[in-house]
Chains A and B, each alone.
Chain A
Amino acid sequence: GESVGLHLPTLSVQEGDNSIINCAYSNSASDYFIWYKQESGKGPQFIIDIRSNMDKRQGQRVTVLLNKTVKHLSLQIAATQPGDSAVYFCAENWATDSWGKLQFGAGTQVVVTP
């Protein structure tokens, strides 16, 4: 079956640097993508989303890039802070279903070092 996956299970970033978290997807029919942040002991928290008719979307310190040609999604975090340490999930909307089911990737652990 088609699935969402992440390239790196763990990403170590120095405080102040930019982080880039990657995600590959294989369902060409997906039309909506979302990034979640999950801190230890907490539920996933919405960060940013993007629809397939866009290539880039910016939020506060975060940017999501979508490359439909190679089915790749990335989350960029500017000036990474200790509070950014968490697991980050990407998810895609399987539009082939009659409703928007979200398919989640396994997650990337981001560790911010001083």
Chain B
Amino acid sequence: DADVTQTPRNRITKTGKRIMLECSQTKGHDRMYWYRQDPGLGLRLIYYSFDVKDINKGEISDGYSVSRQAQAKFSLSLESAIPNQTALYFCATSEASQETQYFGPGTRLLVL
């Protein structure tokens, strides 16, 4: 079984809709991250969480929100989706004292 899972794997939505992307991990890691990937660009950090009570904005948090429901779960919401949020979204985890991050399989989102 995969250590980091993301649901859904693919999603098509319309402008203005609210959607949620979910991430679960069985690695027992305290830290979790959300990134987006666009063609020709590196991964960009949206939000990160060091534990259940800790939420921090990344470099591109506008238009997004997150919820850390448990150590193993970290969800990303688009409050009102817009077409330029069309991208690949990745969840990642890491141990508290380690820089290495482990990624999920990604969610491909298309906003029409």
A101 to B47 CA separation, bound complex (whole angstroms): 11
Query: A34 with B99: in contact, given A42-B105, A43-B106, A44-B90 (CB under 8 Å)?
Result: yes
Main secondary structure of the interface of B (DSSP, over half): loop
A41-75: contact bitstring with B at CB < 8 Å (1 yes, 0 no)?
11111100100000000000000000000000000
Number of B interface residues in the complex (CB < 8 A): 17
B100 lies within 8 A of A107 (CB): no
Query: A101 with B105: in contact, given A34-B100, A44-B90, A93-B99 (CB under 8 Å)?
Result: no
A106 lies within 8 A of B41 (CB): yes
Partner of B103, one of A32, A41, A45, A100: A45
B residues 63-100 touching A (CB-CB < 8 Å): 90, 99-100
A residues at B contact (CB < 8 Å): 4, 32, 34, 36, 41-46, 49, 89, 91, 93, 99-107
B residues at A contact (CB < 8 Å): 4, 40-45, 50, 90, 99-106
